[in-house]
Copies of this chain bind each other. A is one copy, B any other.
Amino acid sequence: MTRESNRHDVRIEHAADRLLAAIDRCRAPVCVGLDPVLDRMPRDLRVATHSGSPIAQQLGSFCCAIIDAVHDIVPCVKPQSACFERYRDAGLEALQQTIEHARRRGMQVILDAKRGDIGVSAEHYAAAAFDKSAAIFSAPDWITINSYLGEDGVRPFLRRSHGAFALVRTSNSGGAAIQSLALSDGRTVAEAVAQIIASIGDEHLGERGYSSLGAVVGATKRSEAARLRELMPRQIFLVPGFGAQGAGVDDVLPCFNPDGTGAIITASRSIIYAFKPDDPDWTSSVRRAAEAFADEIGRAVGIR
């Protein structure tokens, strides 16, 4: 558990190649979402509110402990930006600490920020995520972005060395009300978005044929995922909805290409809160949950 992961991943320039290499290393196309919520912290991390910056301390300590527990099992973590931004400076400090720690542990980092704007504003968001203008800043490898504004809301986030997952079909109950609407040409809204993403993404392919523009495709209906897979053969799918949100292995399999590559399944609460609040060895519980998750998905796609 204490072995440092192969650092050579950081020398792979293209974001998709780097993510695929990390998946190969762990033999598990999975991601653990870091959605830290103060009142679900394990008891031994709860610090008194009079000790400096307790929020940053709790959020950061919790996320770093999770990273230590899973870094050799899981290739990738996905910090939820909102959970950190809520606490302003202290939260951003904890987010920074989390990203840096994951990088040191050899993990890929997807910042779940769902940014979406156009033109100069979108360029600013991309710069905020990826540019190392602040000396201490450790950039995430990927960011999630919103597609509703169209191509000029996506293009400013495109890089070779950093990736963006564009929201195509989300797994929340309200997502279908817009994303699954039927168009007059027979497509759904999500399928129309998928075609835009596939077209833009072709400009940024890595050596293994995948783009640094990926897609968020929730584990909703199997047929829907299969159709989106056809429309976006070169997008890595970031797949939420597994575990606490109710989807199982059968639901997520259509998100992969036939060779078992091309998707990364995320679970958050079912892993990071896989303990009772007063569990003194809570990180072992988290590790066991991550191992079971990685094993289940790894076997399902035939890489274990």
Interface positions of A (Cβ within 8 A of B)? 35, 37, 80, 82-83, 85-86, 88-89, 92, 112, 114-122, 124-125, 127-128, 134, 137, 146-153, 167, 170, 172-179, 181-185, 189, 192-193, 196
CB distance from A126 to the nearest CB of B (A): 9
* Copies of this chain in the oligomer: 2
Q: Which of B150, B174, B192 is close to A118, meaning CB atoms less than 8 Å apart?
A: B174
Question: What are the residues of chain B within 8 A of A172 when measuring CB–CB?
Answer: 118-119, 149-150, 152-153
Report whether B121 and A82 are in contact in the complex, using a CB–CB cutoff of 8 Å.
Answer: yes
Choose among B89, B146, B189 the residue that contacts A89 (Cβ–Cβ < 8 A): B89
A178 B152 Cβ-Cβ under 8 A: no
Collect the chain B residues with CB atoms within 8 Å of residue A128's CB. Answer: 82, 85-86, 88
18 residue pairs bridging A and B, Cβ less than 8 Å apart? A80-B121, A82-B115, A82-B124, A85-B128, A88-B128, A92-B92, A116-B148, A149-B172, A149-B178, A150-B172, A151-B174, A152-B172, A177-B192, A181-B183, A182-B184, A182-B185, A183-B183, A189-B189
Instruction: Contacts A149-B172, A149-B174, A177-B196 known; list 16 others, CB within 8 Å.
Output: A82-B122, A82-B125, A85-B128, A86-B125, A88-B92, A88-B128, A114-B146, A118-B174, A119-B172, A146-B148, A149-B170, A150-B177, A150-B178, A150-B179, A181-B192, A182-B183
Alpha-carbon gap, A174 to B200, bound state (A)? 12
Distance in angstroms between the alpha carbons of A153 and B88 in the assembled complex: 21
A-B interface, 6 closest residue pairs, ranked by CB to CB distance from nearest: A150-B174, A82-B124, A148-B148, A152-B174, A151-B174, A82-B121
* Bound: A137/B89 CA distance, A: 12
Contact, CB under 8 Å: A148 / B178:
yes
Q: Give the chain B neighbours of A178 by CB distance below 8 A.
A: 147-150, 189, 192-193, 196
- Of B37, B152, B184, which is within 8 A of A120 by CB? B37
